[in-house]
Structure 1
């Protein structure tokens, strides 16, 4: 019974007390099982490191991430100082700078940090959303990996040391500037010029979508004058001694983008006017290195960050429906609510398991991924499998992430869209950006389609399906094999009704194919207990 009471005593304190005290790793038996299954002999070390970083991410960094999400704390630009000197200062909240320094000081990319420790730390940190940390971490990882193989000068070796091991306790942050106004994901369409002047490379032109603009260094694609080949360069944001003077390295930050998500992260339009740049790898291998190394790690991380976002959203929704009462019952008792919760819980778990399985297979490669598809040996097939799995994970996990968080928000009722009630609206907006970052869905779907058609002469599509779905029932594998054979028999054509139907089926097929891969990974984890 409910009678009038002008002093309504209802509050959310019980739920909030739980939320403030939950430890992302220590209180999550499922991720502990995933870690134990996939990390093998390293499990105890990884587990110990995960518990350590989780105590920071779950409390101190979570609070900072929530605080800096307020609209009034969005980064903004100061282009000139009071004396009309061009400084292009990015003003960010002090909490952002403190949290960023603490996280990078973990030495996540250090030579002393194992790949599994790195992965688990990043997964835990990503549960706090973008928070001006997720993208910089990903970009720095890509920079470290490419420079490990291509730091051929003292300058590039110094940049690698700064990013990987830190210098005097300061760990550098990396960025990647690939997109231009005319191309977006079409990196071969880049027209930014690289010119050799007095034995040094200088860059001229514009980049249109540059995230982590506050970084110390950026990987930048450009074309040497007279060449149609995309080359890769690393560009310091400041030359030695100029950071304190706020004199940037031959480029201007024209404006900060106004994005719907990842709002704490600066994304900007840049104009290069003679920026000093250091060549990374052979000039003609720039595009291959971007795709084979930089984008590989970025796309891997999109899958991992999606798993982190989903984990937090599902955990908080699960607890809320156990706390909240309506119409005389806990809302977790309503069949529709219970079914929705079951759905997002399952999707989340298979996404987490799938991300760890993809990474496990990635670590087993004997050499780095390459852009080409020539060759027919078993090692090349494994390379091909991982290349396609990384793209499949990117499109499936980022898509599912948005769906899961939207459904999780609905379980909070009207509170679900309140920015000051929970982090879920922020995670939802961040997840929408993840769908587009490092190649939108349509681009990657067509890349996978072309890859499989081009490789068919030495790697039959049916064999590809059988290999990535190893462990599935034979009838399941045969169903996917029949479907992929039909779809790949169609040639790429114009947007007529038949082609649109084929590519819609292809879209659904790729989503279902990777879901089956994820379910296999989840079954592995569950069977290992």
Structure 2
């Protein structure tokens, strides 16, 4: 009598001390997309991400959320956002690893692939801080529309030094960039922007207006849209002016969001705010779309990363949790669920790295790859980002009640999962962008057809899916079918990539479950639930490839 009331048994040990980059699908994709030279750095980053210390940083950054400080003690307006020290540690690693703008200053073929792989790896630790990292990466091609601004700011945007705090840009060792497009009345319809831009004699403009969502308000620079005399125009807006004075950037509040809680999103107001024009007046949308294309690529990469993080948690749990005297992972039905999640995750990873390869080759002058990326980034964002919530939800269920408590980390992954489908244009926007590109740029469709043509005849289900998509593309009124077109383009490309590059068991499982449809190849993307792979699938081999024991 008087002893312990219970003994703790059959609980899963902490998931720590592993390498996040020990991922066959990732490493194979990195090598074939031309960045095999980055493998050692990926493993270094992956080993750091697998440490308990990094996991604590992620937890702290989300538990102790950013805090807005509008005024100093004397009543002066400061509009600063304060972060927990763990946020700064996450950012320091990300920028130091070249995940922000460094790829634009790296002449090595595959630099953008290496950067995407690093983002995929490190974002598994914590997704929120990847927002300013992504924005900083994406601002560079848009800024190059003005040679003078690019010369002044690009060296600091492409550096590897994280230097937080609001100071004059030329006095800092590194810069972060954000973006402000959305307004209350317009949402994704940026042409409804009402913020005005008035030119002044010194060549700058004065902005007046309010933005509804502005990413990473603690950044040094922002690309924003405003109505100039010549129409909707893109501008570069610094938080601190070259003379060291604060620009007018009044943060009215921080958004109270479902997820992404470590990262600040704000509503700033501009009142005679100094900005420099980027590109011609009236060309704001085409100019800023240079940035949007890159952040959409990161949405695909980030969603694939979130899937991978959830899969790793689920497999780890199933290996160490027993039921009826045997590990969960030995149970056929649980293994079928895990294998299905692994197939989905590998397909997302292959697509994300293929898109990064297209961007890399496109910026080095390959016109076909540029055309390919223009359309497929939108289709990939549509589909992969929609799959992330389903994958994370199923992975959480694998842990049962243990996955529903905050200590497991799955609730944070689940809250973060829907974001990438919304950020930079939700599903309808992406699907319509696919149709728009098909109409305006026939070379994009030709590039996509050339890509999938390499697997013609290799899998009858893939061939049927291509034929079904052809029927969708010839519809008299394609807009109601836009989502089906985007979905099928992404699925067919994923199937083609897996048939070419993945083990046969993975490719067969994907094509059999995702491309079967209604027999005509133009149905939905697989079963309604995970764990419904075709009978006879070697689920153990799929799980072992995803996470070797």
User: Do the structures match in fold with TM over 0.5?
Assistant: yes
Aligned twin of 1:180: 183
Q: Which residue of 1 aligns with 2:49?
A: 57
One of 504, 511, 523 as aligned partner of 2:487: 511
Q: Secondary structure at the match of 1:255?
A: strand
1:313-392 residue pairs with structure 2 within 5 A?
A: 313-365=310-362, 379=367, 383-392=370-379
In structure 2, the CA distance between the partners of 1:104 and 1:460, relative to structure 1 (3 Å rule), is closer
Whole-angstrom CA distance in 2 between matches of 1:156 and 1:416: 46
Relative to the length of structure 2, the TM-score reads 0.81
Distance 2:345 2:181 in 1: 31
| 8 A Cα contact 1:416 1:425, kept in partner | yes
Determine whether 1:418 maps to 2:416. Answer: no
Deviation at 1:509, TM superposition (A): 4.1
The answer to whether the 8 Å contact 1:314/1:345 transfers is yes
Q: Residue 42 of structure 2 contacts residue 118 of structure 2 at CA under 8 Å; is this kept in 1? A: yes
Matched residue, 2:218: 214
From the superposition, tell whether residues 8 and 62 of structure 1 become closer, same or farther in structure 2 (CA, over 3 Å): closer
Gapped regions of structure 1 (runs ≥ 5): 370-378, 494-501
CA distance in 1, matches of 2:270, 2:217: 13
CA distance in 1, matches of 2:365, 2:388: 28
Distance of 1:136 and 1:286 partners within structure 2: 21
User: Which of 23, 38, 47 does residue 28 from structure 1 map onto?
Assistant: 23
Give the Cα–Cα distance (whole angstroms) in 2 for the partners of residues 366 and 87 of structure 1: 39
The CA deviation at 1:466 is 2.9
CA distance in 2, matches of 1:299, 1:56: 26
**Secondary structure of the structure 1 residue equivalent to 2:417:** helix
CA distance in 2, matches of 1:126, 1:82: 37
2:301–2:352 Cα contact (<8 Å) kept: yes
Q: How does 1:84-233 map to 2 (within 5 A)?
A: 84-108=75-99, 109-110=101-102, 111-112=105-106, 114-131=111-128, 133-147=129-143, 149-153=144-148, 156-165=150-159, 170-199=173-202, 200-225=204-229, 227=230, 229-233=231-235
Change (3 A) 1:282 1:481: farther
Indicate how the Cα distance of structure 1 residues 215 and 368 shifts in structure 2: closer, same or farther if over 3 A, else same: farther
1:83 is aligned to 2:74: yes
TM-superposed deviation, 1:511: 1.8
Question: Would you say the 8 A contact 1:129–1:430 is kept in 2?
Answer: no
Note if contact 2:207-2:274 (Cα within 8 Å) is conserved in structure 1: yes
Q: Deviations over 1:386-444 (max 9, x none)?
A: 21100011011111111111100000001112112x22221221121111000000111
User: Residue 238 of structure 1 is aligned with which of 235, 240, 256?
Assistant: 240
Contact residue 232 and residue 286 of structure 1 kept, 8 A: yes
Can you list the C-alpha shifts for 1:130-174, whole angstroms capped at 9, x where unaligned? 23x211111001112222x23432x55222222113578732111
Per the TM alignment, residue 102 of structure 1 is displaced from its structure 2 partner at its CA by: 3.5
Q: Give the equivalent residue in structure 2 for 1:286.
A: 284
The answer to whether structure 1 residue 307 and structure 2 residue 309 are counterparts is no
Structure 1: 4+ residue segments shifted above 4 A:
166-169, 366-369, 458-461
Backbone CA RMSD of aligned residues:
2.7
Shift in Å at residue 206 of structure 1? 0.8
**What SS class does the counterpart of residue 412 from structure 1 fall into?**
helix
Say whether the 8 Å CA contact 2:472–2:478 is kept in structure 1.
no
- 1:267 maps to 265
The reply to whether residue 402 of structure 1 matches residue 402 of structure 2 is no
Aligned 8 A contact 1:449 1:488 in 2: no
Q: Give 2:454's aligned residue.
A: 471
Find the residue that maps to 2:49 and give its secondary structure. Answer: helix
Q: State the partner residue of 1:9.
A: 8
